[in-house]
Structure 1
């Protein structure tokens, strides 16, 4: 048995065998481009697999060394990869600049950082492991644009034949001159490796004599500039002074280009990964540096606490109480994971969990309440009463006590909302209730939230909260 076969055998012990079979088939039979920066969401859709099980399987495969995990900072405008990192710790706190869009962006983990998987070269060597050998359009497709840009062979052909005036594969140290016939259009001269661009605004009366323009590519980032030229001939001189090859391409910035790069498909975001239980369990060391602060614009927090746990220990004794509390934790953690959430930490008899979407947290809360009723019925007791609070909003992902954690007022409010419960009520806030999927869910289950005004400890103003009876 080869090392790779042995790794897949181990993988089947920790991940869904159906997903593992699909991954193993991809490694054996997939084209090179299919094994580079794999979009797990798209992979699960094409193979009719559960998304969460697919994510978990790829994470375990990365832990075994079958795949390499990648964190790519994307341009929200064109979908280009502005920074490719092997670990989340490598994300820079400053702006990532997109020359093609002439904009700067701070890395937003909600939807600007994709998580992808590339086959490890020891398992199978593919062309993307040597990106300098990729032809120009394969470089764009596999290295520059993210897995969320929906490029087909047809769209790549359209890009090459209808949107592009010229392209060159320019070795380092070399110079080339291109004679162009400039149309009266807005032109972009873009280079994807050094990430440099020049805009040419072509207007006015046509000229007969060739115009002259020179561009030099270096290792240093340069601001995107705009020059004005007239329709007609242009001698464009391109000098590659960088330490790598260059792939300058001359695009017509018309509707066809925007349409091609505007076609998107869902991808695995860093926010979703940070709220994935398998990632938190398997890649604890790969989360964040102690001084990193990643801003998240929207995350849903669920806090639970076991009512009267101190009295429970006194009433039934340490051994029986410990068994009850352990059973309660087992039920809660299984529900959180199955509803696409992740446990951030447990504090005494309390749980702090995160969910990407508020409706997942609501379903988890309702299931938790039902699970406690079932445990009480099985044990002939009424001791397990869980108080639950849910809030959604912005926060910071940070490292605290060697654990990836969250910080901010959203976290504080979620914890305080949980403390409002006196029995098995679930308390939620306005942002949670206002989510369309939550309103639809509550209506389907004929649940009518009860509005309250609540004073929360440490929060200056009273808040409107809602009790789920």
Structure 2
């Protein structure tokens, strides 16, 4: 009896052909070369890179994780498209430092202690919620999230009024997010200056000062340096000196204030 093997179905042959083509060395190398020519900083989808919660960051991570154990020309081209999109958005949004920019740092108070016991799933769920709320408010106030910092962000604004309003609204919005065993309270610090822009990031003393101011704030509190307060619409905010402010690595004459939007302070 002669047994005749059935021919392989056409859709399986097609799938095998496309997969082999996608993994051809010369095509993968060409796609990688093309990605290096695309504008943009960093490597989209890098699992070690801090996330800002952008949908493009999530897409890049999915592309990177998909078949990470084998080369893929289509994956390289997909990452190139994400990198180009992010470069266009960031270059168009981030303010120039020519006339000074306001730097904002935020941080969840007591987060690390809770996270040790909460487990990865609950921690990631909270961080996603905080990230989405933060970016929505920051962009709504004409700011730009520079980078995620785990349980906080760094953002920049051209308008100091918008920066303070964004900081306060973000603190308020985060305080109503529900997390089992943890009441999220955000703190915020702002400083205005002329930091050096390096790619999509900002570096320098002014950035460090903003981070130090944030670290001195209490939960739900927004602190700002005199360089921010002096540029604010004085009729729109209630400003109180923070006389107990102390922070290493900041100028001795640095003055810091607690700032609250007046519509909130006055009810």
TM-score by length of 1: 0.34
Which residue pairs with 1:383 in the alignment?
183
Among residues 232, 235, 260, which one is paired with 1:440 in the alignment?
235
Which residue pairs with 2:118 in the alignment?
316
Contact kept in structure 1, 2:194 and 2:206, CA below 8 Å: yes
Note closer, same or farther for the CA distance 1:332–1:316 as it changes in structure 2 (3 Å cut): same
Shift of 1:380: 7.0
Note closer, same or farther for the CA distance 1:448–1:407 as it changes in structure 2 (3 Å cut): closer
Among residues 128, 131, 138, which one is paired with 1:336 in the alignment?
138
The answer to whether 1:302 aligns with 2:104 is yes
Q: Partners of 2:85 and 2:228 in 1: how far apart?
A: 24
Q: Partners of 2:90 and 2:171 in 1: how far apart?
A: 33
Q: Partners of 1:352 and 1:416 in 2: how far apart?
A: 12
Contact kept in structure 2, 1:336 and 1:342, CA below 8 Å: yes
Q: Partners of 2:235 and 2:89 in 1: how far apart?
A: 36
Contact kept in structure 2, 1:303 and 1:388, CA below 8 Å: yes
Q: Deviations over 1:173-229 (max 9, x none)?
A: xxxxxxxxxxxxxxxxxxxxxxxxxxxxxxxxxxxxxxxxxxxxxxxxxxxxxxxxx
Q: Deviations over 1:271-320 (max 9, x none)?
A: xxxxxxxx983427979xxxxxx863310111001122221212332211
Unpaired runs of 5+ residues, structure 1, are 1-86, 88-278, 288-293
Please give the residue correspondences for 1:92-171 in structure 2 after superposition, counting only pairs within 5 Å.
none
Which residue pairs with 2:88 in the alignment?
283
Higher helix share: 2
Q: Secondary structure at the match of 1:303?
A: strand
Note closer, same or farther for the CA distance 1:466–1:328 as it changes in structure 2 (3 Å cut): same
Q: Partners of 1:367 and 1:391 in 2: how far apart?
A: 17
Higher strand share: 1
Q: Secondary structure at the match of 1:297?
A: coil
Contact kept in structure 2, 1:453 and 1:462, CA below 8 Å: no
Higher relative contact order (Cα pairs below 8 Å, separated by 6+ residues): 2
Note closer, same or farther for the CA distance 1:335–1:410 as it changes in structure 2 (3 Å cut): same
Note closer, same or farther for the CA distance 1:340–1:381 as it changes in structure 2 (3 Å cut): farther
CA RMSD, aligned part only? 2.8
Which residue pairs with 1:456 in the alignment?
247
Contact kept in structure 1, 2:114 and 2:182, CA below 8 Å: no
Note closer, same or farther for the CA distance 1:297–1:408 as it changes in structure 2 (3 Å cut): farther
Q: Partners of 1:452 and 1:301 in 2: how far apart?
A: 22
Q: Partners of 1:304 and 1:452 in 2: how far apart?
A: 21
Q: Partners of 1:280 and 1:405 in 2: how far apart?
A: 17
Q: Partners of 1:436 and 1:411 in 2: how far apart?
A: 19
Q: Secondary structure at the match of 1:463?
A: coil
Please give the residue correspondences for 1:388-467 in structure 2 after superposition, counting only pairs within 5 Å.
388-399=188-199, 404-437=200-233, 439-442=234-237, 447-467=238-258
Note closer, same or farther for the CA distance 1:392–1:286 as it changes in structure 2 (3 Å cut): closer
TM-score by length of 2: 0.59
Q: Partners of 1:280 and 1:464 in 2: how far apart?
A: 40
Equivalenced residue count is 176
Which residue pairs with 1:349 in the alignment?
151
Shift of 1:369: 1.5
Among residues 167, 176, 180, which one is paired with 1:365 in the alignment?
167
Note closer, same or farther for the CA distance 1:436–1:371 as it changes in structure 2 (3 Å cut): closer
Note closer, same or farther for the CA distance 1:320–1:422 as it changes in structure 2 (3 Å cut): same
Which residue pairs with 1:468 in the alignment?
259
4+ residue runs over 6 A deviation = 284-287
Shift of 1:372: 1.4
Q: Partners of 1:336 and 1:432 in 2: how far apart?
A: 17
Contact kept in structure 2, 1:455 and 1:461, CA below 8 Å: no
Unpaired runs of 5+ residues, structure 2, are 1-38, 40-83, 261-267
Contact kept in structure 1, 2:189 and 2:211, CA below 8 Å: yes
